[in-house]
Structure 1
Amino acid sequence: MSSLGEALRAAGMRVEIAPVGMRCLEQIHSRPPDVVLVEFGEPETAVLLRELLGMATRPGIMFVVDALGDNADADRLCLADDHVRPDCDPGELVLRLEVLVARRRTSTGGARFEAGRVQIDRDARQVLVGGRPVSLSATEFELLLLLVRNAGRVVTKSAILDHVWRYEFQGESNIVESYIYGLRRKLSDEDRSLIRTIRGIGYLFADERPS
């Protein structure tokens, strides 16, 4: 993590490093950052994430991931807005952080979208599934919004990377699959009736209204 911090400082970013725990939380509350980089797998990570996700105006969350294990890891990975490897290219890291910050600062405008049993209020950043509110990370929200706005049409994986991550992606090839997995879990879409995989192409959000 220290090497990533040095790379960010070299790019002109203000960086503060603290061990995961109370000291880290105190720093976040006293000097709110734009993005928090969290080393994935640390025992105290779950407590930190609960605190961050519960903030009224939270910073962006980026995991630093060395390796993934089972589906439980993919589950937890989707709590963050993005993730990188410890040995990622410093230029790529800076670009991804800038994209994440810009995405969280951009005004979303007032608009509502609906497809099937899913309703999205883009202005309020609210998602309802069958009338039930669902909490999503910023990246999950942008991914779902893209799919719902194109309901009934196939959205290619490259289009998802371009519109959600907003740069020519050169990182982990399974990042889209990881976030789709997390979305399905949060939307209770175990049967994949909402988000359908179009093998070798991308994903399609079903525009079927409940009977």
Structure 2
Amino acid sequence: MLEDNMNTPRSRGNGRPALTRPDGTPVRVLVVDDDPDLAEVLSGALRYEGWEVRTAGDGASAVAEARELLPDAVVLDVMLPDTDGFHVLRDLHTVKPDVCVLFLTARDAVEDRIAGITAGGDDYVTKPFSLEEVVARLRGLLRRAGMARQQDEGPRLVVGDLVMDEEAREVTRGGELIELSPTEFELLRFLMRNPRRVLSKAQILDRVWSYDFGGRAHVVELYISYLRKKVDAGREPMIHTVRGAGYVIKPVAGR
């Protein structure tokens, strides 16, 4: 199931640097879902990345395909006709212990998320999802695992010890990974693209939410507070309020 407003995947020719295996060969991905239409759409999005993709509609065929393909990553639906994704994951790890696994789940319960991670999954997305999100999550997993490298590395935004990789959609501070929601990521990106510059609430609303300013200042305040809890928690603050003017991000003094 895809979001109604899903983004069409961008091809490498439209500016996204290619991600390959360390030896330069295409990344190998196995898509496991019993919905053939969804599997086809997902496979198409991943092939736009230049990756080698195979599909499977149940657990048994997934393990058989994995033995032949030896995938770098697997997009794995939790609910399959012959078993569940957690059992399939255990079998996949016997075939390729270091495979990256992104679970697809229609269930958003915390217990299901914990079960997936406990079983050895690396990440998950909840249906409905966008193709761009799946691609971005896979790129991030593969790079963090050292199983892929990016050709012509895209630009990174750096403010002090805060680093944003825009292509992998990864943010670290002092080398520690910071998990952000899509909106938090866009807000932080706007701040980091304008370091030491005070940005008004109106500017932020226009850039991040495409809103007119009228009456929505609380949205900016709310998301700034979310960012502070993740970026500045337990550290010297980088995100500052300039009373009556807006917000600014700047490196900690001496860094």
- TM-score, normalization by structure 1: 0.50
Structure index of larger Rg: 2
- TM-score, normalization by structure 2: 0.42
